[in-house]
Structure 1
């Protein structure tokens, strides 16, 4: 949520910052702004709405300078508006700030400052930071940032400039991501790598309560005691082109089509002596009597799929918890519990909190993330990485699929260590997993058929997804994907639960998407199909257990044969494409759906 970009160097900062903000649009935002250090002080331009509106403002009042900060805001405190947009400047126009996160004690700080006669212009918690920094400023910006950090409660990633220090940009973070990029012409702060990748692939990852002091020729790091820190410069291995659309109309479609390669790379890293395999081999599952999987959104749905696979293969108790609930429920976990945390960004606030709660209680933590250097990756006891590369569309596709295959491979590896399957069975299961990329490639040749069917579904007010067993688990993801990007109400139900109340929602011309990959349950799901058709619904049947005659009420899309435990990797491709084309036919902003953010870094 929110995006930060800052630059200090030898080039005009304005186009660099605007371009960086465009690369951060996927994080979700409702307003944007930029502050440039100019010859007559800070030049600030802020605008509610999309970046195009900000660019129009900048075209009308051009500004320039070699140091500046920019921000895309996702509103938390105060409605989306020009005045509530970032950057915020203190009442003396001396300090400018951009902020990602939530300041939990802002009301107390604001009241204290107002009592001292300091006027506030916005409704935001973030303005408190700028006002407090001006109040504390004593001629040394680093000292001021240290003092401000000590006063703030909550989460923050900050970029700060001061009028008295025209060549210095300072960054500090706590519980929100921030990277430092270094290049020949200047240095950067940013919320994520894509914002700086055009200029550099050399970055530092800030840890919590670390401060970066950027100047044109150098970057220095300090802790909150002002002690110098030595940090390792990292090299980003994926290219700038991988964060571009590559001729596709949307990032989401590009990322759907990339999944065969993503799965192949992720599988190889986990079974062919890659780094992931080393981690999996070193994890002794026999120490534990329970596995808890915790995550949010699509990552949670991956966990629900994994529960079926782990319990079937490993015969070990598995619980799946929403991270936002786990952190408050006083979970029953101890040193004999393995907690698996799943997060694309590695910065999901609720999942970070769940991880820390689990560690306090003595559990061992294993994370599955896509971003090297992220908070969850660094703090978990063990970490394995999806090989998804940058995922720009807010609605996850390829990262979700990569999470699934890693969970499958974990389950197989654990089952061997627990003595539940033989070495021969292990090799057979791993060969079935290794065959998935080719099956995905074959499935993606059916795009035209899926697109044609989706074009008939634009007018539906509600769409329901049903499945049984592991098909129900992936139905959850199909429903979430549709509602995320098409704004059509959808729900997923276990097929057997329809008659326990939810069938009352079925009426004439309702669409029901039914998933069937479990052979022993094909008759059961077809009974559910007949029940909803008899009440006026139309049905789209997806699966590899299809022996049906299509008609005006029943259509079907066939999947390649697969082990039912791994079939969600095939079902989800059709569900993603279906959702994408429904939204595309509605003419919606698919990559940046309203009110949503890619990385949910605040509670």
Structure 2
């Protein structure tokens, strides 16, 4: 949920750290901070509020140095204030640490530190406990005189020793005033990537933060610990064993994560959808056989025919996409399909037969609950496939196969192009398993859920009708399909109660809605199975313009973050 950026090299660290944070602000914007090491001194600036407040602070009080870490916070432990903003420090004040994740046993660790005489805690966060623990282990190991090289090795050892005591999740970056050309990162359950440059190296919780500086990246695995200087890096396990990792080429540029000429990321990403839907389909349609080619599933025809049950799991927007997939597959292939909240799937003993196929859907490929569901499914021996937008993500790496969305970076917190890409892929899966019926999407409602609730049309008489009033518009998704007449009946009932009506429709149905609906949005005629993709786009635009009209922060809605990487 939080954003982390680290830099070691020969350039001025502060502008690189701030630029990276701006690119990660969608991950959290409760508070922000940075720490820079220069001439053996640790200098820090941090404050509650957004990154603009931190930028103003460092403008008024500049920091210098070519080694540093920075952080934008989405609060989990402790109030939103200056004291709880990252970085956090050890008792000596020489070690600074930033953290994304949750230390579940932080209270037990803190109690032990207090018993040993460490009472210099300044915040309410779990992160500060980890900083103190690492600092204590390092200081204890340096009780005797140690040269610069020895200090690096002992700091590396102290980090590994501390993390072996941690229960929970973490993506961390830290620096120490004793070692002015050396930073350390580690991950377990929270993403962390190493950017490899020429005479400089980077750490980030998402590669979009550093793609302006390098497109060479090493994606760390759980329990990896990396130590990086300007010209080299070393990755080891918590036990200290050296591990080898490939350097991957990032498949997008800094321009791809910019707003271009658009006022907001959300609007830009809405208008990118013709291309992203096309990219999701490219090379995957077999028109001669009216089916789809999805080689990434790593399943041959016999295995596909043997699938007797499908479980679709995800969180938030991905869960809405899964609900479309549920109707799609059951209608077209008569395969029993269910949608499960990822957060519940992993914690309940769902009866599953051996022929069950599980799909884990996540835009980022790092959603903590979805990743947990994937791991639980694989632990039980079920084939588990991923649908995600990051080919180097943890879900992509740990699944048995899957389908890559090809949607490109999505920065706006409200999902737009990733949702239609997920629908496209689920439609392709439907073509693989059979045909589907039309399903009106609930995702547009998710974007404006502060003002409305979405319900199946058939549920109107079962309570929803009590909400109808002259100042509350009802939006009906009523395309030209087999249930249009029933939709029209419900629209008439709302009209009779003086409720304003906005209708999304298609084909010949327009003439039936004239004189009944106050506003009619005519959709292009299309086969039923692609109608969910078309119906969501007007709802995205409605949500966008409604938020702008109300003066809301379109790209960063209150209390929400883009990638939910903590439980």
Q: Cα gap change, 1:364/1:105 in structure 2, threshold over 3 Å: closer, same or farther? A: same
Cα distance between partner residues in 1 of 2:237 and 2:40 = 33
Corresponding residue of 1:588: 552
Q: 2:267 aligns with which of 230, 253, 270?
A: 253
Corresponding residue of 1:477: 443
1:276 is displaced (CA, Å) by 7.2
Corresponding residue of 1:449: none
Alignment TM-score, normalising by the size of structure 2: 0.93
Corresponding residue of 1:387: 406
* Cα RMSD, aligned residues only: 1.7
Corresponding residue of 1:220: 234
SS in 1 for 2:76: coil
Q: Which moved more, 1:264-273 or 1:90-99?
A: 264-273
Corresponding residue of 2:127: 126
Q: Cα gap change, 1:523/1:248 in structure 2, threshold over 3 Å: closer, same or farther? A: same
**Would the aligned equivalents of 1:509 and 1:536 in 2 still touch at CA under 8 Å?**
no
Corresponding residue of 2:397: 378
1:88 is displaced (CA, Å) by 0.3
Corresponding residue of 1:453: none
1:489 is displaced (CA, Å) by 2.6
Cα distance between partner residues in 2 of 1:79 and 1:326 = 31
Q: Which moved more, 1:149-158 or 1:546-555?
A: 546-555
Corresponding residue of 2:469: 507
Cα distance between partner residues in 2 of 1:30 and 1:368 = 30
CA displacement 1:222-266 (0-9 Å, x = unmatched)? 111211111100001212111111100001111110111111111
Q: 1:519 aligns with which of 452, 467, 481?
A: 481
1:215 is displaced (CA, Å) by 0.3
SS in 1 for 2:234: strand
Corresponding residue of 1:89: 89
1:516 is displaced (CA, Å) by 1.2
CA displacement 1:114-163 (0-9 Å, x = unmatched)? 12221211001111110000111124111011101101110000101122
**Would the aligned equivalents of 1:335 and 1:361 in 2 still touch at CA under 8 Å?**
no
Corresponding residue of 1:418: none
Alignment TM-score, normalising by the size of structure 1: 0.88
CA displacement 1:425-462 (0-9 Å, x = unmatched)? xxxx9xxxxxxxxxxxxxxxxxxxxxxxxxxxxxxxxx
SS in 2 for 1:509: coil
Corresponding residue of 1:62: 62
1:237-316 to structure 2, matched below 5 A, reads 237-271=251-285, 277-280=294-297, 282-283=299-300, 284-316=303-335
Corresponding residue of 2:31: 31
**Would the aligned equivalents of 1:26 and 1:598 in 2 still touch at CA under 8 Å?**
yes
SS in 2 for 1:154: coil
Corresponding residue of 2:8: 8
Cα distance between partner residues in 1 of 2:515 and 2:60 = 58
CA displacement 1:277-309 (0-9 Å, x = unmatched)? 322473522222100000001100000011111
Q: Cα gap change, 1:272/1:31 in structure 2, threshold over 3 Å: closer, same or farther? A: farther
Unaligned 5+ segments in structure 1 are: 416-420, 422-428, 430-468
Does 2:551 align with 1:601? no
1:92-171 to structure 2, matched below 5 A, reads 92-118=92-118, 119-137=120-138, 138-139=141-142, 140-171=154-185
Cα distance between partner residues in 2 of 1:270 and 1:236 = 23
Q: Cα gap change, 1:28/1:272 in structure 2, threshold over 3 Å: closer, same or farther? A: farther
**Would the aligned equivalents of 1:90 and 1:130 in 2 still touch at CA under 8 Å?**
yes
Higher helix share: 1
SS in 2 for 1:230: coil
CA displacement 1:189-215 (0-9 Å, x = unmatched)? 001111101101000000000111100
1:553 is displaced (CA, Å) by 5.5
Cα distance between partner residues in 1 of 2:381 and 2:452 = 39
1:76 is displaced (CA, Å) by 0.6
Corresponding residue of 2:145: none
Cα distance between partner residues in 1 of 2:241 and 2:298 = 39
**Would the aligned equivalents of 2:39 and 2:180 in 1 still touch at CA under 8 Å?**
no
Cα distance between partner residues in 2 of 1:177 and 1:591 = 22
CA displacement 1:79-126 (0-9 Å, x = unmatched)? 111100000011211211000000000011111111222121100111
Q: 1:573 aligns with which of 537, 556, 563?
A: 537
Corresponding residue of 2:189: 175
SS in 1 for 2:373: helix
**Would the aligned equivalents of 2:298 and 2:401 in 1 still touch at CA under 8 Å?**
no
**Would the aligned equivalents of 2:363 and 2:418 in 1 still touch at CA under 8 Å?**
yes
**Would the aligned equivalents of 1:533 and 1:539 in 2 still touch at CA under 8 Å?**
yes
Does 2:461 align with 1:495? no
Corresponding residue of 1:439: none
**Would the aligned equivalents of 1:156 and 1:173 in 2 still touch at CA under 8 Å?**
yes
SS in 1 for 2:448: helix
Cα distance between partner residues in 2 of 1:375 and 1:384 = 14
Corresponding residue of 1:340: 359
Q: 1:201 aligns with which of 180, 192, 215?
A: 215
1:388 is displaced (CA, Å) by 0.5
Cα distance between partner residues in 2 of 1:356 and 1:549 = 49
